[in-house]
Amino acid sequence: MAEAIWSVGKVAKRCGINVSTLHFYEQQGLIQSWRNAGNQRRYKPEVLRRISVIKAAQKVGVSLDEIKRAFESLPNNRTPTVEDWQQLSKNWQQMLDGRIAYLQKLRNNLAGCIGCGCLSMTSCPLYNPDDQLAEIGSGPVLLDQAEQLAGVDR
């Protein structure tokens, strides 16, 4: 049986994305195509699975760089199998658990002090005399520390 080849439009429609997104993914090295005799892009059907993995990972907050590294870790940069997906999702789970913990802490303490160093909040649980937080860093240092403790990558 001959291997099916898919046009850019067919892949975009099937995946629910714009053609420009396909071009972007290809430019980023996440998917591959080849050119036919008429210089039109063509894709193997397995590109649908790669795009599905990309979209699923992005929905839970995995960056394109992280997705690309995961794809590159596969033998011969192949399309993820069911077993590959299980391993990829397991690897991302720890990162997501850290993000969830950070977001829960942020949600629970949103009205409290973020450690910005402004010294103006009357309800701030930290007085921060002489702006001691400046020694730690700039911006919302307490939130940044909470994020680091939760193991969240930026």
Is residue 109 located within the same domain as residue 58? yes
Is residue 26 located within the same domain as residue 62? yes
Is residue 146 located within the same domain as residue 102? no
CB 30, CB 68: distance < 8 Å: yes
Is residue 109 located within the same domain as residue 124? no
Query: Which pLDDT does position 9 carry in this prediction?
Result: 95
Query: Which pLDDT does position 118 carry in this prediction?
Result: 65
**Nearest to residue 43, comparing CAs of 70, 19, 72, 66?**
19
Is residue 73 located within the same domain as residue 141? no
Largest CA distance in the chain: 76
Tell me which residue range forms the domain holding 147: 118-153
Query: Which pLDDT does position 25 carry in this prediction?
Result: 96
Is residue 147 located within the same domain as residue 122? yes
For residue 67, give the CATH number of its domain.
1.10.1660.10
**Of 71-80, 131-140, 144-153, minimum mean pLDDT range:** 144-153
- The one-character DSSP state at 42 is E
Residues in the chain, total: 154
Query: Which pLDDT does position 23 carry in this prediction?
Result: 95
Is residue 87 located within the same domain as residue 124? no
22-71 pLDDT, tens digit per residue, is 999 999 999 999 998 899 999 999 899 999 989 989 988 899 999 999 89
Is residue 10 located within the same domain as residue 62? yes
Q: Tell me the pTM.
A: 0.66
Number of domains present in the structure of the chain: 2
pLDDT over 70 percentage in the chain: 78
The H or E element containing residue 55 is helix 47-59
Q: Considering the domain boundaries, does residue 1 fall inside one?
A: no
